[in-house]
Amino acid sequence: MKNSASYKRALGRFWRLLPHGGTRGIVLQYHSVGASPRGLDVISFRRQMQWLARNGAVVDLPDLIAGRWPQSTSDLTCAITFDDGYACVYENALPVLQEFGMSATIYLMTSGISSSVAFSSDSFPGLYSDERMLTWQQVRSLHEQRVAIGSHLVHHEDMSRLSRMRAEEELRDSKRVIEDRLGTTCNRFAYPFSHFTSEAVQLVGASGSISVGATLLTTSRFSSGEIGTSLAATSVCGGRCCSGTDSRPCRIEWISILRAFAVRKLDRIVLAELN
């Protein structure tokens, strides 16, 4: 069965039925930060990061999934991700992340990353329009500055529509080029369009990816047999799931940040759920 953003919304509604007052984890998914037609403007992005610095903790995505959450007075822990591989992440988002000491993950559509002159996103179906793509030099710089690099396939393809052979090629080739370029293991993956099938999940796990972007979570274990108490969160990662428990109730949700997503909306969505 194909899963999509509508499924995530339904899952979010389920989580809201859980008891309030416990620890909450959120994956914040961004794409573009800048002045492009669908980009979140830099001022708004900075305000959001400033808000997170004041109201929660930002951790690396595998730590969020595994339940390695910092001890703090806040009940909110977040991970930040960027999809596709736009140059504005390096030019506009990275300085803000560095200002607040925050880590992030960026998922690359590797056919769009050039060795020298940046490609235009308009040359690739499925991407935001009027964007410049990253170059490998910029990717290496991101990697050196607390931004983890993950795969978003070679082409921005809907994995729920690909043959098994094509999906395996896309996963293998994108992972290989990232590892060859950076000289390090690539074990993070995000599904383009957030679409996948059970077979796609298995293929991602077989490829060695252990941290899946746009993470969906399921309840799997409870220390007392009661929902919301020491909830273990398990990511969809093809059988190679990271899981963890917390002595407090916990929930993990996924929010895609759109162009019109002002900080007051982030405040309303997040803090309303914590009270």
Domains observed in the chain: 5-274 (3.20.20.370)
Give the pLDDT of residue 270: 60
What integer pLDDT is reported at residue 24 of this predicted model?
Answer: 74
Round to whole Å and give the CA distance between 96 and 71.
Answer: 24
Mean pLDDT, rounded, of the chain:
77
* Choice among 33-47, 72-86, 135-149 with the minimum mean pLDDT: 72-86
Relative orientation angle of helices 42-55 and 263-274, to the nearest 10 degrees? 20
pLDDT winner (highest mean) among 66-80, 131-145, 199-213, 227-241: 131-145
Task: Identify the pLDDT of residue 192.
Answer: 92
Query: Average pLDDT, stretch 153-163?
Result: 95
Mean pLDDT of 114-143: 97
Query: Mean pLDDT, to the nearest integer, of 208-222?
Result: 44
Of residues 239 and 249, the one with the higher pLDDT is 249
| Model confidence pLDDT, tens digit, residues 10-36 | 444 444 434 444 567 888 899 999 999
Range 59-69 burial, b when 16+ CB lie within 10 A, else e: bbbbbbbbbeb
Rounded to whole angstroms, the Cα distance separating 110 from 170 reads: 10
Q: Is the pLDDT of residue 182 over 90?
A: yes
